[in-house]
Amino acid sequence: MRLQFTGISFLFAFIFHCPVFAQRSAAEYFEDGNTKAGTGDFNGAMQAYTSVISMSPDHAPSYFNRGLAKANLKDYRGAMQDYDKAIELNPKEALYYQSRGVSKSLQEDFRSAIEDYSKSIELNPEEPKAYYNRGVSYAKLKNHRNALIDLDHALALNPDELAALYARGNCKQDLQEYAGSLADFTRVIELSPKRTGAYAGRGLAKLELGDYQGAAADFTRAIELSPNDSEYYSNRGFAKNKIDDFQGAIIDFDKTIQLDPENYNAYYGRGFAKGKLNDPRGAIADLSKAIEVKNAYTGDPKKNAFTGKINKEKLDELRDQVQTHLKIESLTNERAEAYYVRALAKSKVGELKGALADLTTAVELNPTYSNAYFSRAMIRSASGDQMGAVLDFTSSIKLRSDYPEAYYLRGIVKNSLGEINDGCLDLSKAGELGYQQAYKVIGAYCN
């Protein structure tokens, strides 16, 4: 994870001083627990706090500290039970809520964690870690604007907090605020010159800002600190391609592939570099590999599995209800329009292979021919190549973002392939663009 939560480790020694118990031995056990926790003996600490609890079952600090010990042993569920009891006994202690929030965050229950962090902030609005942890939880939920507000607040309270600076740098990068991201990572590096992720993050910001030499230098430093991270080599290779250092890029992509043979970006980058160095066969091989590696939309169309709520019969029925609107267009010198119209004529008489060939020629002659991609997707789907259809609908949408039928049909196809969430989002977009039939399908297959 790029972002980490803080607040569960090494808190024992300063949270509570030794309380006055009726029995001296209980106080001794409590101090023993604090001592053991401070030295990292969390098992021993947990046993000591359990002894206190057996003698004084209403002592909230012992439940809390035992929860911290469990959390450090990665028993987050057990920790939460102790935090629950501590909060029941003392609902006014901000740190109890914050630590329970951390355990929830580490179990990826970010929404509930945010509730705990908010309660902690309500009780103690001057604690920067609570804002930091809530900001990270918002970021995990992709609510980057709220995350940024909390991280700003954390840094207002503690301007040089490394974790918050690093998290804010990542958050700004997700918001495409690359100049601000670069500034935050630079400050992290000033405070902690061996923070590998900060060099990598700053390198990515420099890539987006067009400083390719600077990006390459930052990735080089990241590699020096962490020589077995394949992404650093891949990103440096990309930067080298940008400055026409194709030989250097190939060396970096070779290393990436050595460390991570499934890194399709590395094959793509290496193929590009080989093409620039007049090695077309090598380029083709690498680019083919880039397309094939872990690509859900390649392979034998006959092996397409209808695992979603929409089966093959229903897919065919819904798809065939959509009409292709054909209008006459001026014929260009490449004759792409003629191939397109001939393809539709062939499809009407059942010559699907010939129709596909004509549509492929049309998009080769005119790569921005949105309607040709759409029609080829229709025919691919009818021929059983649902994955190819998704690719063509996607190309059509990229060229014409307000194409409701393309969203509608891509949604139906994705749904049939088991990609229910993505498919239903496409159907929603189609409805938003005015294709009312989409809402009928949503009602039947998305709820």
Please tell me if the domain spanning 206-292 has the same topology as the one spanning 305-445: yes
> What's the confidence (pLDDT) of residue 195?
95
> What's the confidence (pLDDT) of residue 305?
67
The token duo for 356 is 């596909």
Mean pLDDT, rounded, for 289-317: 77
Q: Which of 50-64, 264-278, 323-337 has the lowest mean pLDDT?
A: 323-337
Mean pLDDT, rounded, for 15-23: 43
CATH topology for 305-445 is 1.25.40
HSE toward the beta carbon, residue 45, CA cutoff 13 A: 29
* Exposed e or buried b per residue across 331-367, where buried means at least 16 C-beta atoms within 10 angstroms of its C-beta: eeeeebbbbbbbbbebbeeeeeeebbebbebbbebbe
> What's the confidence (pLDDT) of residue 132?
97
Could you tell me which residue, 79 or 240, shows the higher pLDDT? 240
Neighbours of 123 (CB within 10 A): 17
Q: What is the pLDDT of residues 361-373, one digit of tens each?
A: 999 999 999 999 9
Q: Which helix (H) or strand (E) holds 36?
A: helix 24-38
d(C-alpha 433, C-alpha 414), whole Å: 19
Mean pLDDT, rounded, for 110-130: 97
* pLDDT band, very low/low/confident/very high, at 300 (cuts 50, 70, 90): low
Instruction: Show me where the domains of the chain are located.
Output: 12-175, 206-292, 305-445
CATH topology for 12-175 is 1.25.40
Tokens 């400055």 found at: 243
CATH topology for 206-292 is 1.25.40
* pLDDT band, very low/low/confident/very high, at 291 (cuts 50, 70, 90): confident
Handedness of CA 122, 167, 68, 194 (dihedral sign): negative
> What's the confidence (pLDDT) of residue 12?
40
Could you tell me which residue, 14 or 24, shows the higher pLDDT? 24
> What's the confidence (pLDDT) of residue 349?
87
Residue 233 · residue 259 · CB < 8 Å: yes
d(C-alpha 66, C-alpha 74), whole Å: 12
- pLDDT higher than 60, residue 198: yes
Mean pLDDT, rounded, for 165-174: 96
Could you tell me which residue, 270 or 4, shows the higher pLDDT? 270
Q: What is the pLDDT of residues 318-344, one digit of tens each?
A: 888 887 766 667 777 888 888 888 888
Tokens 């390719």 found at: 212
Neighbours of 258 (CB within 10 A): 12
Tokens 């034998």 found at: 300
Question: Chain-wide mean pLDDT for the chain?
Answer: 89
Residue 336 is which amino acid?
A: A
